Chains A and B, each alone.
Chain A
Amino acid sequence: MGQLILRRTLYMIVSLWAISIVAFVVIQLPPGDFVDTMILRIVQETGEHMEEEEVANLKRLYGLDKPMVPRYFSWIGKIVLRGDFGRSFAFNKPTAELLAERVPLTMFISFLTLLITYVIAVPIGIYSATHQYSWADHLFSGVGFMGLATPNFALALVLMWLGFRYFDISIGGLFSTEYRLAPWSWGKLWDGMKHLPVPLLVIGTAGTAGLIRVMRGTLLDELGKQYVITARAKGVDERRLLFRYPVRIAINPLISTVGWLLPAIVSGEAITAIVLNLPTTGPMLLQALLFQDTFLAGSTVLFLGGLTVFGTFLSDLALVWVDPRIRFERAQA
């Protein structure tokens, strides 16, 4: 096990390095840079154009006059040596600070959603599999499919409108304007609670429905297997029979992908967050990409990539722990 961890750590470092190159290069594939984007905005806002000299001065100011390779090394060098992820051009703040500002709330919403998703989906999946073709199974399937099938942004938009029209919930964000800046109070808490259901509902529906389908599918496979039939023939208690092996095995595919949820938890649902105006990391990344805010975008991508690599590592370990067969094989190898 110790050796496994060591080896995987080495792989992780190599992966991260490769990601860092992609993160820096792919982001700069579109022509132009932050200064060009900024000038466009100035043109749109004011209808004024800049002289070439002024543009050159600005590019120099942002260090964009240098070629990509030295810029890459300067960026990655600072990260490795000083843990300095560079500054965001658009916000004029260190990237780390910006992430620190948004990651906690993002994680809060994601965890809450994930928790609800699992709490709802796993039991329903088990129920649907054990009661195949019952009316409840059909109902869950129908509702689940509907949740999966509705485009998130449309759902968000309609829910927001209904919330505004009929429940007097202000549109977008997690707090109403009057509570945005106010210190924490019962009123603010209640205001926040009023705003939470829409994002949770929107982000949660698709996830829950998907999970129910996967859970139901794999569990049905397991339930048809010889060992289950044998156990049942031997008179093993149904409940014990169900949870002892089939459920654990059915969770296997869920676990092998749980690692990839880590970046999703941190980045959040970008599109839903944009529609709902949630101050999470997803919209910030999208904005950084659109603005060619190189360091913010690059460092965020690197950060998310790092989380995936780490998450995969964790899920591999979890897999070894959950599935005795793999554990056994690894021990042999």
Chain B
Amino acid sequence: MRLHRLFAVPLVAALLVPALAFAGSEAEEGGDAAAAMERTSFDHEWNDIRFYNHIADYTAATGNTITSFSEAPMLAEMVAAGDLPPVEDRLPADPYVVVPYQEIGQYGGYAFMGRDGTGHWGEAHLLIGIEQLNRIAGDLSTQSPNVATSYELSADAKVLTVTLREGINWSTGEPFTTEDIKFWYEDIILNEELTPNPAKFLQPGGELMKMNFLDDQTFQFSFAVANPVAVEWLPHPNRGVTPIKQAKHYFSQFHPTYVGADKAEALAKEAGFENWVQHFGDKNNSWSELPKFNTDRPMLTAYRLAELGTDLARWERNPYYWKIDVEGNQLPYMDGINVELVQDLQVFAGKIIAGEFTVSIGWYAPLSDYPLMKQNEESGDYTVELWPSLEGSATLFQVNRTIDDPVLAPIFADSRFSHALSLSLDRDEINEVVFQGLGTPRQHTLIKESIYFEPHFAEAYAVRDVERANQILDELGLTWDANREWRLLPDGNRFSVVMDTGAAVLPIHELAVEQWKEIGMEVTMKSFSYQQSEERSKTNQMQMYGGSAGFNARSEAFVASPLFFLPQRQGWENPWGNQWALWYVTGGEGGIEPPDEVKRNIERWEQMTATMDVDEKVRLGKEILASQADNLWVIGTVGEVPLPMPRSNKLRNFPERGGHDWSIGSWTGPQHPSQFYLVQE
């Protein structure tokens, strides 16, 4: 059934890129014009950290060559003591060459970072980086080589061939080859105990993808139908396919296929688990790349987790890291990274201004603290830069158009109601109060650098017009009460709705509610824990929602998962089409059938993910965004808000600007975190 296929939505879905291997000596020049055109195009100054896929490329570009390798003193000592093979044997014969951003770094030093009690785990990757097959380049958009030296998508988009860099070793010193990828596919994905239900995106056309292993360096994904989106798996930090995270030599020791079912179970029991699946999962933590807990796990990253306490985690350099700088120095420069647990965000701010942290990510350094951080820059010996977030709108407001309430439902379902809410918002005040005036008041749509962007998408109903808003509410039959204080519903009761605010009521919620009061709308705010929100969403109890989008608005992410533009997920963060989403995920069995406009958008997106024609794709994407601008499925407030990135003045080679976004490769991925260094006294 066509519909069924339509609903089997891969979260990382099709983004069509004509197949290409990395051509030319400098990969960032690679790619044809059409492909570059179609992606998000930034023209900022942050995309100039260069690298070479091969030493030969470096020589070809500069005339220089690299003949010998050197290493960190701590590793040299280990080599001298016979604890470690020499650096030439640890590096690939043809390592990846990074051109340091400012200068050749100094070896040594530990970076200090903090994490808060609410459990963010990823922040260390700001300095560690993510190693995927490909890497998002400095333009925050195109792909460039990394673990893979090249890839090729067949003309029918059914076979994706990837070639690995030769001679890369795991952090344990064991070689990394297609054997490890084979282990991932055959012993994890195909193992029915470990993966009883493979994710839908691994089954394009309803059939689980196949893999072929040609030699130690070359392997293929093959699909039953054309699946051009597979290319997008290659650079993604955690989403999609992560075949290079499980070292066979390590994980096979817990796997029944290799040690026998009895031994695998016995090992699990001994370690305090109920069965081998739990034991294996514990060692693997497979969802994301973050080596959260397991200090034994072999890694390909520049640092590996060495110690994990309840309030301190320590990463240390990976002696087998496979990248060098232009003078042949093995990266990374720093010895390691300490991440300290800081329970209270306010203490966090205190530690930042005291200059205790080498670098802190934006969610720990809110804009409201910006003046305080700026004032203490000198005494704390750090610098605060503003990094753009790639969000279309920092907070979104949504009206549940499928609410189970005979009086409210027809009002909520009417797009004019959303228009009125949007028109009565004073975005300038929100920008000033919440974002120190640094954001851009706009409607929710993609960021302006996106190829899908049109200025009027961002302008739609985004300028305050209380008169017009009142007029709309009058048209909708929401009359004023006797005191002209509140609006009344058609049934005579006062119009009063509850807005879920997520975990906390924030100033932005208070502001919006006060602004809506001026057009007679009584909106009360209520915060719920995540779990409660999820339940309220599943049971369709949410009337309104106001919360962070937590979602970047790059073209790539839009195509992969047009979260706020289509009702695809019956989630707490996307309640505007709650029952339509249920209809969608159940293939039409549950929920409520969406109106034609929404169905048309779903079809448009379906076509987008399948077409090979770039112009057609952009046209379809713009139609979806135009539909958002006309109907305001979600109401945007202020977007393109920068986030402060405070960093110690001792940290060098760190870019002044970058994208504050995870999906581009842990924020700093495009800037090669392994070339950051600490000035040594």
Contacts and interface: CB of A to CB of B under 8 A. Distances in A.
Interface of A: 30-33, 36-38, 40-54, 56-58, 60-63, 84, 87, 90-94, 98, 101-102, 157, 160-161, 164, 170-173, 176-177, 180-181, 273-277, 279, 283-284, 286-287, 290-292
Interface string B191-233: 0000111111100000000000000000000000000000000
Contact of A61 (B278, B294, B531, B573): B278
B342 A164 contact: no
B118 interface: yes
A82 to B, nearest CB: 9
Contacts of B118: 41, 290
Given A36-B531, A45-B121, A181 B310 contact: no
Interface of B: 11, 112, 117-122, 195-201, 237-239, 272, 274, 277-278, 281-282, 287-288, 292-294, 308-312, 314, 338, 340-344, 346-347, 350-351, 354, 356, 363, 529-532, 534-535, 548-552, 557, 561, 563, 569, 571, 573, 585, 661-663
28 contacts: A31-B532, A32-B534, A44-B548, A46-B288, A47-B549, A47-B551, A49-B11, A49-B569, A51-B200, A54-B199, A61-B278, A87-B272, A90-B119, A93-B310, A94-B272, A171-B347, A172-B342, A172-B350, A177-B112, A181-B338, A275-B346, A279-B310, A279-B341, A283-B117, A283-B343, A284-B310, A286-B117, A291-B119
B346 A49 contact: no
Given A177-B112, A181-B312, A275 B344 contact: yes
Contacts of A84: 272
B632 to A, nearest CB: 21
Contacts of A62: 278
A60 B277 contact: yes
Given A41-B119, A180-B312, A172 B351 contact: yes
Most chain B CB within 10 A, of A30, A47, A51, A173, is at A47
Nearest to A279: B311
A271 B552 CA distance: 35
A31, A40, A48, A161 — which one has the most chain B CB atoms within 10 A of its CB?
A48
Contacts of A171: 347, 350-351, 354, 356
Contact of A46 (B195, B238, B312, B534): B238
B344 A47 contact: no
B459 to A, nearest CB: 25
A61 B351 CA distance: 37
Given A31-B531, A36-B531, A172-B351, A51 B11 contact: yes
Contact of B531 (A47, A63, A102, A292): A292
Contacts of A91: 293, 308, 310
A36 B117 contact: no
A181 B307 CA distance: 11
Given A57-B196, A57-B197, A45 B343 contact: no
A160 B310 contact: no
A33 B341 CA distance: 22
Contacts of B529: 30-32
Given A53-B198, A84-B272, A61 B277 contact: yes
B200 A53 contact: yes
Nearest to B538: A31
A63 B278 contact: yes
Nearest to B503: A40
B126 to A, nearest CB: 11
A38 B54 CA distance: 40
Nearest to B347: A172
Given A31-B532, A45-B120, A57 B195 contact: yes
B209 to A, nearest CB: 15
Contacts of B530: 32, 36-37, 40
Contact of B238 (A44, A48, A102): A48
A49 B121 CA distance: 16
B535 A31 contact: yes
Contacts of B282: 61, 92
A237 B39 CA distance: 94
B310 A37 contact: no
Given A177-B356, A275-B347, A37 B342 contact: no
Nearest to B236: A48
B534 A31 contact: yes
Contacts of B195: 57
A133 B31 CA distance: 88
Given A32-B535, A101-B309, A180-B338, A47 B557 contact: yes
B310 A98 contact: yes
Given A37-B531, A180-B340, A181-B338, A49 B197 contact: no
